[in-house]
Structure 1
Amino acid sequence: MISSIIAKLYQDLKIRIIQANQTAKTPPLPYGVYNMTSPYIKGVGQPDVYTYVDENGWSMKSSDEYLMTISFNIYAATNNEAMEWVIKVREWFNEQGYYTLQDANLVVANLGNVENRTTFLVDSYEYKFGFDVQLRTNGERFIGNLVQEPTPGDPNNPPPGEPGNDPDKDPVNYDWIEYVELQMKE
């Protein structure tokens, strides 16, 4: 998900953005660094649970919304250059990146302010500006299949293989709430 965003940022803005906290060689200035500071911030309430019919019969899924926070820093040779680049990257989330985010099932929930994050190294400065962006998405999780248990003596729901259990010819009693067993998928 994040890799498609970073690739599109490079395609649109021509600035290399790498993942933070790695030992790989840094690219030439200017470049950016991203860090997923909060990959899952739970939303309010409980997940929605719903049933649906698929090739396996009745199944259940849960769905909930959550936020993630990504921090971006842009490094450059000068203070002004770092500031100019970080504004371009931030504005990408506001404008150009809308459809890329939408394709990844993401929407900008909060776009933080640009901040000076310059640090003093032993005898020089490391010029960088940055911002944080919170993205909202929804996660879907498969819970399991629902199986209608046969009810002994019920002519509307005989066990499989017995006369009267032909789904093309015979009606089936789908008052299945009493007869459902949740089978967890492994």
Structure 2
Amino acid sequence: MIRHSEISEFIRSHLWDDHEIYFTDVESVKEKPPYPFVSHKFTSPYIEQAHGPNIAFDGAKEIETHTTQPTMTISFTVYSTDRDECLDAAISFRNWVSFLLPRYLEDERLDVVIVNVEQVQDRTVFIETEYEFRHGFDVMLRTTNSIQRQTDRIDYVEINDRVISIKGE
């Protein structure tokens, strides 16, 4: 099962340790943290990938497992009241995501890998009387997701007083 909140918390804690910059989900925070800060949102939380069944036998049980490697897109945006500070922080954060975050993910043995890191884009907005400078980029992650179903296996059938063995293995 994919736990998006665990991924967010993992990134938040490592980003704070390395850069002491706030990392928040802007949609759930009542007040914005001090500038500059980074927001995130899973814009595509589950992108299905092709998969197939894997069938195994355990005694009289048949276990069918479907394992997929779904991807997800997380969008990061750096906020600031200063254009240069915002762009510098966005580039620094993108470099951190590209270079250090994959190693942290590997060290923690999280079932998440970085597939692609997009380029930094200007996302600046005009709010009432002044600009809020925003620069951001998207990151595609991949994980594994498995579901299982277990069914009883038929070992034999009896037809007209005749026993027929069924070999399912």
- TM-score relative to the length of structure 1: 0.73
Q: Is the 1:118–1:127 contact (alpha carbons within 8 Å) kept by the matching residues of 2?
A: yes
In 2, the alpha carbon distance for the partners of 1:30 and 1:71 equals 17
Give the match for residue 139 of structure 2: 133
Q: Is the 1:48–1:62 contact (alpha carbons within 8 Å) kept by the matching residues of 2?
A: yes
- TM-score relative to the length of structure 2: 0.80
Give the match for residue 122 of structure 2: 116
Q: Find the partner of 2:74 among 67, 70, 74.
A: 70
Larger-Rg structure: 1
Deviations 1:19-65 (A, max 9, x none): 1322422111111110111111222x3x1211345699542210112
Q: Is the 1:56–1:145 contact (alpha carbons within 8 Å) kept by the matching residues of 2?
A: no
In 1, the alpha carbon distance for the partners of 2:115 and 2:144 equals 13
| 4+ runs deviating over 6 angstroms | none
1:36 aligns with 2:42: yes
User: How many aligned residue pairs are there?
Assistant: 157
* RMSD value, Cα: 2.4
Change (3 A) 1:146 1:18: same
> For 1:24-173, what aligned pairs fall within 5 Å after superposition?
24-43=30-49, 45=50, 47-52=51-56, 57-102=61-106, 103-142=109-148, 144-151=149-156, 152=158, 154=163
Note the residue ranges of structure 1 that are not aligned, 5 or more in a row. 158-172, 178-186
Identity %: 25
In 2, the alpha carbon distance for the partners of 1:26 and 1:75 equals 10
Give the match for residue 183 of structure 1: none
Deviations 1:136-175 (A, max 9, x none): 2221112x113222424659x7xxxxxxxxxxxxxxx7x2
In 2, the alpha carbon distance for the partners of 1:118 and 1:16 equals 19
Note the residue ranges of structure 2 that are not aligned, 5 or more in a row. 1-5
Q: Find the partner of 2:168 among 166, 169, 176.
A: 176
Give the match for residue 28 of structure 2: 22
